[in-house]
Structure 1
Amino acid sequence: MDLISAGQGFVMLLLGVGALGLEVWALVEAARARKEAYPAAGKRSKGLWVTLTAVAAAVGFVSLQSPLNFLSIIAVAAAAVFLTNVRPALRSVQGPGGRTSNGPYGGW
């Protein structure tokens, strides 16, 4: 029984680390985008999305050992909504690198 319990604990830890990685990725992407890109893409403000993803990452860190509780699932959902809905809209507005192709002297 101890082997099964250890295996379950390991799987839960892997799920927690995966969830935390997703939430941190969403936070980094939310912080990287320009402030003006959010309204241009028809999305809520940068402050809201950075706050939501930061709270999601904090919840993911706190519940690293138990990633299947109610708050952890909500945190993963918030990060997933950002990555699947907001991030593509931001990339369509500002390009894949987060910047335009215009340099300090204009475009190519």
Structure 2
Amino acid sequence: MEIIMAVLAGILFTTAVYNLLQKQMLRIIIGTALLSHGAHLFILTMGELKRGAPPILSEEVEQYTDPLPQALILTSIVISFGITSLLLVLAYRASKKNGTDNMEQLRGNEYE
């Protein structure tokens, strides 16, 4: 299972980097979202996918699951949602003001 998760995280990282190198703002924002999802899967994979009881101390339970990866991922999801929404609002405002979402035109370079 860890191999599948690692391959999926690698695919997400690859597509994120590809989208980050594009010229349209919306693709760049999608790339940042994919990058954060790849990081979530990477954190979950590095935390080892163990099965066990909830982390509540009890006498009869021998193996517990580690709650730290899930807590880190939940915090990261909230932060990435805020960043994505901020980037979408900024991209909307920039495209409304300038009439384009192309990064080359927004920099002042000629685009053909």
State if a TM-score over 0.5 links the two structures: no
Instruction: Report the TM-score, using the length of structure 1 for normalisation.
Output: 0.36
- Flag the structure with larger Rg: 2
- Of structures 1 and 2, the one scoring higher in RCO (CA 8 A, sep 6+) is 1
Instruction: Report the TM-score, using the length of structure 2 for normalisation.
Output: 0.35
